[in-house]
Amino acid sequence: MKPEDAKSIVKSTLDGGIVDDLVYKEDGNSFIHLSEIPFYRKQMRILSGKNPLVDPVNVEDYIALGGYKALVRALQKSPEEIIGEIKTSGLRGRGGAGFPTGRKWEITRAQKGKVKYMLCNADEGDPGAYMDRSLLEGNPHSVIEGMIIGAYAIGAGEGWVYVRNEYPLAVKHVTIAIEQARKLGLLGENILGSGFNFDIKIARGAGAFVCGEETALIASVEGKRGIPRQRPPFPAAYGLFAKPTNINNVETLANVPIIIEKGADWFAHIGTEKSKGTKIFSLVGKVRNTGLVEVPMGMTVGEVVFDIGGALDGKRMKAVQIGGPSGGCIPRELFHLPVDYESLTGAGVIMGSGGMIVMDENTCMVDIAKYFTNFLQEESCGKCSICREGTQRMYEILTGVTEGRGTEEGLTLLEELGGIIKDASMCGLGQTAPNPVISTLRYFRDEYTAHIKEKRCPAGVCKTFIQYMIDLEKCTGCELCRKNCPQEAVEGERKKPHSIMQDKCIKCGICYDVCEFDAVVKITGGKNAKNSN
């Protein structure tokens, strides 16, 4: 759909009709069921499937679809039974680490003391990722119900939703949902007459990526600077306000009501032997269909990329970045890998919270590694000198490679730095920060070598190795390039061949993009990127 379609959509909807021109068609059929559309065909929308059916600010909608039935059922069982069911289901944390949720609850419940806390981690800071945001904006009661059940299981009386302040709509919907649940007796004292007391507050994060780490998140909720602390003790024993605390990701908590309602065995039959259930990914990048996709664990990377995402015409897929900035790149040769914790770890990457960025032949893997390393060195809290200085040094070396100053010794240093940062950093940010560099060196070392030895960027991305020239035989003097050049680097008279002053050219590529006669040639290491007609 396009913005100009809005008028006809609204008019047809109010008239009770369908906009035939916009209905998905295939093989001449006028209408095909949602499950037959390629983007949805292989998805299993257990969590995200209710989003289109629920008004997020109307609790009656959620209840009409079976919402809070799982809570009623849970309150009729003992906390130990609930924990046992979650353990049997095989649910693992969807925030990135993949720690067994039931085991985490069990450890927290076993701690002594009457005061315990239940925290929801909605600090989604990965570039291009918006899985948690979608659930909080589209179906916040599913997360709240999961929190209440979890709190009952561990014996917590107070909960917090830690959400990014950059998600104003999510904050608004969660706030409304909490108020509605409170009015219905689903939060507060003596929930549904069970004698269980639990309430939820909202804490807004200031946008620090490191606050996705448990101990940094706790410090932020307490009003302190959001930096990690040494573990042990772990939050389960010594967390928020020095009390036992359980922290789960948004997607993890949204799975809990489904498990209680449909049973642990039902959930355990989805996925692989060690990775159960579904996983939501934000599929972005060089694919035809971008957006949120929910697939069963064990589906291959290739199925997600090609069958759901869809390849762009004329482009060859090169790699997929999985797991956000701290993840890693999987080459096309490994697209047969199943999406589960063990397989991805074996390939040198992590699942993370679920970002999936698809890259084609026009992507420079050195530039990608530099981009994510820059993000991570800027987001480092600076507490560990090895993370603070190590990520900065890695970024400097990568910058040198993309600017033609790289050396083979520099690549060796990158690998050594990566190992040290992994081993010596205190928190998960530092321990996973080298992944983008290490994985691209492992699978795309030839691109690094091309930058260093051949002084060229195979993808034609790094500006140092690019030169724009004008083919005098093809130039008609139309002046499009001269008029659009922001640096006034193009000279020439109308209807006469133009030329580019290289000392003024900033290699923005605008002249190349606007030329209608293939006269502007992009040279990358001696190869023209634009062929003549």
CA separation for the pair 72, 82 (Å, rounded): 12
DSSP symbols for 360-397: ETT--HHHHHHHHHHHHHHH--S-SHHHHHHHHHHHHH
Q: Does the structure show a pLDDT above 50 at 82?
A: yes
380-415 confidence digits (pLDDT tens): 999 999 999 999 999 999 999 999 999 999 999 999
Residue 325 has a pLDDT of 87
- What mean pLDDT is reported for the chain? 92
178-187 confidence digits (pLDDT tens): 999 999 999 9
Task: Compute φ and ψ for 171, nearest 5 degrees.
Answer: -60, -45
Residue 24 has a pLDDT of 73
Q: Does the structure show a pLDDT above 90 at 81?
A: yes
CA separation for the pair 507, 525 (Å, rounded): 15
Q: Does the structure show a pLDDT above 50 at 532?
A: no
Helix (H, G, I), strand (E, B), or coil: what is residue 449? helix
| Start-end of H helices in 110-167 | 131-138, 140-154
Q: Does the structure show a pLDDT above 60 at 529?
A: no
In sign, the C-alpha dihedral spanning 519, 523, 526, 528 is negative
- Structure tokens given for 505: 């050219």
What is the chain's length? 533
- Say which residue the tokens 């940010």 belong to: 429
Task: Compute φ and ψ for 276, nearest 5 degrees.
Answer: -100, 155
Q: Does the structure show a pLDDT above 50 at 445?
A: yes
446-483 confidence digits (pLDDT tens): 999 999 999 999 998 999 999 999 999 999 999 999 99
- Structure tokens given for 237: 């024993």
Q: Does the structure show a pLDDT above 60 at 350?
A: yes
- Exposed, middle or buried: residue 453 (CB in 10 Å: 0-12, 13-18, 19+)? exposed
pTM of the model as a whole: 0.88
Residue 501 has a pLDDT of 95
Residue 531 has a pLDDT of 36
